[in-house]
């Protein structure tokens, strides 16, 4: 909205939001309609359904999440352990499903052919029967519930030490 009301008074062409449409932080879903309607952003995109690796079995050491949140990721992984592909598959599928519901593309960073195949499997799973969709959503809700105290938590970007 700020861009629209600041010279040269034109809406943004594209806005990419990363790590804000995940099992742990779904703030983008709340803001997407406002960004479209009030700020008139031409194209919205969401990225990083794994929250910059946080929702993987081995989150990167540099990730800014506090230790308590990293512990909750382990609990969420244990809670959905019976799902083929585990928390990663649930998280990527959640990203695909919710991005599609919002009508926005989702960008996932993939490093290895195995990750490409897993991402495609997660996407296909979102297109399955109603029964499988309901089971997937139940797993998503189980993981989301574990992040209760940290649901919507994010970090400063850029961090204060770089300002």
- Report the pLDDT averaged over residues 42-47: 96
Concatenate the DSSP letters of all residues of 64-116 into one string. ---HHHHHHHHHHHHHTTTSTTHHHHHHHHHHHHHHHHHT--EE----SHHHH
Q: What per-residue confidence (pLDDT) applies to 48? A: 96
Confidence at 125, pLDDT banded by 50, 70, 90: confident
What pTM, to 2 d.p., does this model score?
A: 0.90
State pLDDT tens for residues 58-111.
999 999 999 999 999 999 999 999 898 899 999 999 999 999 999 999 999 988
| Helix, coil or strand: residue 9 | coil
Task: Tell me what the pLDDT averaged over the chain comes to.
Answer: 91
Q: What per-residue confidence (pLDDT) applies to 99? A: 97
């Amino acid at each position: 909205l700020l861009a629209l009301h600041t010279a040269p008074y034109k809406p943004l062409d594209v806005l990419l939001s990363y790590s804000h449409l995940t099992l742990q932080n779904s703030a983008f879903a709340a803001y997407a309609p406002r960004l479209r309607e009030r700020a008139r952003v031409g194209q919205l995109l969401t990225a990083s359904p794994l929250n910059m690796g946080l929702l993987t079995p081995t989150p990167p050491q540099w990730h800014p999440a506090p230790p308590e949140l990293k512990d909750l990721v382990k609990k969420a992984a244990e809670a959905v352990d019976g799902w083929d592909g585990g928390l990663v598959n649930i998280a990527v599928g959640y990203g695909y499903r919710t991005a599609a519901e919002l009508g926005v593309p989702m960008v996932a960073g993939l490093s290895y052919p195995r990750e490409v195949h897993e991402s495609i499997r997660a996407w296909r799973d979102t297109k399955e029967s109603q029964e499988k969709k309901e089971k997937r959503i139940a797993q998503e809700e189980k993981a989301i519930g574990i992040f209760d105290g940290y649901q919507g938590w994010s970090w400063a970007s850029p961090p204060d030490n770089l300002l």
